[in-house]
Amino acid sequence: MLRRHVLLASALPLAVRAQPAFPDRPLRLIVPFAAGTSSDIQGRLVASRMGEVLGQPIVVENRAGGGGTVGAEAVAKARPDGHTILLGSNGPLTVNPVIQPRIPYDVETELAPIALVSRSPLTLAVKADSPIRSVADLVAAAKAKPGDITIGSSGQGSATHFLIEQFMAAAGIRLTHVPYRGSSQSIPDLIAGNVQVVMGEVSTTVPTWRGGLVRILATTGPSRTPLVPDISTLIEQGFPGLTGGSWAALMTTGGTPETAIRALAAAANAALADASYRERQAEVGAQLSEEAVRTPAGLAAWLREERARTRATALQAGIRGE
Q: What domains does the chain contain, in order, with CATH numbers? A: 26-119+245-317 (3.40.190.150), 121-219 (3.40.190.10)
Q: What is the pLDDT of the chain when averaged over all its residues?
A: 92
Q: State mean pLDDT over 80-87.
A: 98
Identify whether the C-beta of residue 183 lies closer than 8 Å to the C-beta of residue 195.
no
pLDDT of residue 10: 46
pTM for the model stands at 0.87
Q: State mean pLDDT over 282-290.
A: 86
Identify whether the C-beta of residue 68 lies closer than 8 Å to the C-beta of residue 88.
yes
pLDDT of residue 269: 97
pLDDT of residue 11: 47
Q: In sequence order, what are the residues at sequence separation of 6 or more whose Cβ sits closer than 8 angstroms to the Cβ of residue 72? A: 30, 32, 86, 88, 92, 93, 103, 105, 107, 111, 251
Confidence of residue 72 (pLDDT cuts 50, 70, 90): very high
Identify whether the C-beta of residue 186 lies closer than 8 Å to the C-beta of residue 231.
no
Query: Which range is least confidently modeled, 9-13, 66-70, 159-163, 285-289?
Result: 9-13
Query: What is the C-alpha separation between 256 and 260, in angstroms, rounded?
Result: 7
Query: What is the C-alpha separation between 289 and 151, in angstroms, rounded?
Result: 28
Confidence of residue 322 (pLDDT cuts 50, 70, 90): low
Confidence of residue 280 (pLDDT cuts 50, 70, 90): confident
Q: Report the percent of the chain where pLDDT is more than 90.
A: 83
Q: In sequence order, what are the residues at sequence separation of 6 or more whose Cβ sits closer than 8 angstroms to the Cβ of residue 238? A: 135, 136
Confidence of residue 281 (pLDDT cuts 50, 70, 90): confident
For residues 202-235, b (16+ Cβ closer than 10 Å) or e, as one string?
Answer: bbbbbebbeeebbbbbbbbbeebbebbeebbbbb
